[in-house]
Structure 1
Amino acid sequence: MPNESGTCVLCGERRLLTGEHIFAAWIGRLSAHAEPNTTALIFSRGVRKIEVVDLSKRGGHKNNTVNVLCESCNSEWSSDIQQATRNILKPILDRKVWFISLLERKVIAVWASLFVGIRQYAHGAIPVISAEKMKVFYNSKAKIDKLEPFKGINVWMGSFDGDHEFSARFAALRLAEEVHYEDQPNTYICTFAFGNLIFITWGSVESAKNDQLIPGTILLQQFLRSMGMCEIWPGKVPFQENRPESLTDDDLISLLDAAVRVIEHAVADSIRLPNW
Structure 2
Amino acid sequence: MTETEEPGAGPARSVAERAFAVLLAFDDQHRSMTLSQIARRTGLPVATTHRLLHRLEGMAAVERDAQGAYSIGALIWRLGILAPAHDVIGRGGRPLLTRLGAQAAMDVRAYTYFDSSAMCVEEVLLRGGVSPGGPGAMVPLAGSAAGVAIASRLPDDALTKLPLTRGRFEELLGHVAAARSEGLARLTTPAGGELAVPLDVVGRPPMALCLTPPLAGARGAETAALPTTRPTAPVEAALRAAGRALRAILNRGAEQ
TM-score normalised per structure 2: 0.29
Higher helix share: 2
Q: Which has the larger radius of gyration?
A: 2
The answer to which structure, 1 or 2, has the higher relative contact order (CA under 8 A, 6+ apart) is 1
Q: Give the TM-score of the pair, scaled to structure 1.
A: 0.28
